[in-house]
Structure 1
Amino acid sequence: MTVIEIEYCVPCGLLDSAIKTQTRLLNEFGQDLDAVTFTPGHGGVFIVTVDDETIWEKDVHGANLDVELIVGAVNDRLPAEA
């Protein structure tokens, strides 16, 4: 199974973006995931990891959250169904 971690900046008010991302991932892949967790951070951070591999990072991908890109990256990392 798969664990997703969303680290978000508390002072920047990125909790809503983290919740939006978590909700979309759970709606899309809920039965295939072990967990989608939040890690509070600071310094403008917003990072999404799948099994400890970074798939989206605000400093790399820009300030505009791209949930579709995140969904696609998670889908690419899930085991293929038999």
Structure 2
Amino acid sequence: MTTLHIEYCHPCGYLKRAVAVQEAVLRQFGTELESATLTVGDHGVFAVRVDGQPVFDIADDEFDVDDIVRRVRKQL
């Protein structure tokens, strides 16, 4: 099964974004995932990985839940 991992910067206030991405992915692909985890980070991190492979990094891309879901779909 596939794992989703979201690391987010708590001091930056990214918790709501992380939960929104987690919820959207679980709604779309919940039966295809083994787990969907959140990890607290810092220094501006907001990264999404599927099976350890980077799907989204806020340092490189603009935040868009729908775009992240599309990227996750490509990895599944």
The two structures have a TM-score, normalised by structure 2, of 0.95
Q: How many residues align?
A: 76
AA aligned opposite 1:13: G
| Map 1:13-24 → 2, pairs under 5 A | 13-24=13-24
Higher radius of gyration, 1 or 2: 1
The residue that corresponds to 1:12 in the other structure is 12
Q: Distance in 2 between matches of 1:12 and 1:77?
A: 28
Shift of 1:41: 0.2
5+ long unaligned stretches in structure 1: none
For the pair 1:31 / 2:31, whether they are aligned, the reply is yes
5+ long unaligned stretches in structure 2: none
Q: Which piece of structure 1 moves more, 66-75 or 47-56? A: 66-75
RMSD: 0.8
Moved over 6 A (4+): none
The two structures have a TM-score, normalised by structure 1, of 0.89
Identical columns (%): 41
